[in-house]
Structure 1
Amino acid sequence: MSMIGYCNDGGHMALVYEYMPQGSLKEHIAGEDGNMPCLPWERRLRVALETAQGLLYLHKGCSPPIIHRDVKTTNILLNARLEAKIADFGLSKAFNCEDDTHVSTNTFAGTLGYAAPEYQRTMQPSTKSDVYSFGVVLLELVTGKPAIVRNPESIPLINWARQRLAWGDIEGVVDTRMQGDHDINAVWKTTEIALKCTEQSPLQRPSMTDVVMQLQECLDLEEGFERGDNGFYTDSSNGGMNPNMGYNITTNQSTDVSQNNAALR
């Protein structure tokens, strides 16, 4: 988001940013405002792509590069055209040099359900911890559920989704409010990207460069579906297998939702 100005008048201090009349992505996904219509899948994909492009700019386009540290749906705001922009850089950190792979901090800051496990352990955020948080946002866009699912016990959305996808049933996790108005292949591919982003090992997660490219492919699939094109998703990384046929999901990933509760906000 663009900063327009600031106020520093005695005890009155404020930062002024551009106005985003459509509020946060969380409000649209959670339906917190009864007057807000459900975001269609094509718009959700565009929001995901625009957010990924914003993170890519922070990681690659800024000098020095910037780690956001608190990527979540409440920090993704929508303008009048429902275009997404990243907000709230109060926790952001910059690299000291191009060779750095992470930033050392003395305190942990983040949000329950979004924070990467290695960041919780080491308090050293990296671009890959931003990728992890973005993966959770992607799952929220697919499922319409919050980062922590109460079902009835509280479990991370990542675990909730993996347990159901282990059966190969993508429709079992898709937000029912979209009422089938989506290309199932684009949904599969988006879900696969989210799962890769939320791998336990940072080395197994893609870069935001890769994520942007993959999401653009998802959007192309969805636009082809809306035009009536016939086609299906093949993943070049697994030999062209259609994930609808025997999708292999590991379910041993877990995030201790009680860990660092006091440090999370």
Structure 2
Amino acid sequence: MRPYAEVIGDPIAQSKSPIIHGFWLEKLGIDADYRAAHVTAAALPAYIQARRGDADWRGCNVTMPHKQAIMPLLDRLEPLARKVGAVNTVVKASDGALVGRNTDVAGFLEPLKIRLAKPHLFRMGRIIGTGGAARAIVAGLSREGFTLVLAGRNPDKARALLDEIDAGGDHHVAPLDHFASATDFAFDDREGCCDLIVNASPLGMRGQPSLVFDWSHAPPGSIAYDIVTDPLQTEFLQGARAAGFETIDGLSMLMGQAAAAFTYFFGAEPPRDRDAELRERLTA
């Protein structure tokens, strides 16, 4: 009779979520557990059915490839998850209902909060990827007034995603290889602007193909943001720094989305004043 939550995915061995939640449980002295469970696509319905009857189960985080597939298996969706069209957190409510939530939006925006609190003449985000994480990032940035360029292997899928999440937005699509070759485009004055270059795809992750990005496509003063966490210092981020750009790594989003999920699971705020210590544990 010990409460627990977990992260599910396929594969799952690379997940850092058990370290993050375990660290917070330890620091707060909460008698609970957080685990990782390997769940295949075929086994997902049976997993959900089994957890419904487990009185100790508080919910789960959801990673690839289940963020969309899990939605019809749940009892209800919070409005943001419905808008994004992806669930990364399932919470068992007091009435026993399974509620799908999305904490990826808040997690992605967290390291940008100080910048986004300032007014800008123009905000533009170039996003690579069209999966579940990209959907959350599109939703978050469009809500913050960004004009977006979404690049993917299938431009039609990218356009459908933009139209679904922010139909009235002045957004654009590009093929994935658009950013691979150098450009001589002359960017206009970027003073007062906010430019983001975001890798929202698995490219560059350990065991995946590299992300080929030529930094001549990045306007002066851009911020490079990679959601990949393994390796933490991806070739994408290394290339950005070599080109003189500021970078944000994948742990920033991972810890931000985990913090919201932790509160849902265990009813307590995680000790974010210990983030530096947690980063040391995650990168040891």
With the shorter chain as reference, the TM-score category is under 0.3
More strand by share: 2
Q: Which structure has more RCO (C-alpha within 8 Å, separation ≥ 6)?
A: 1
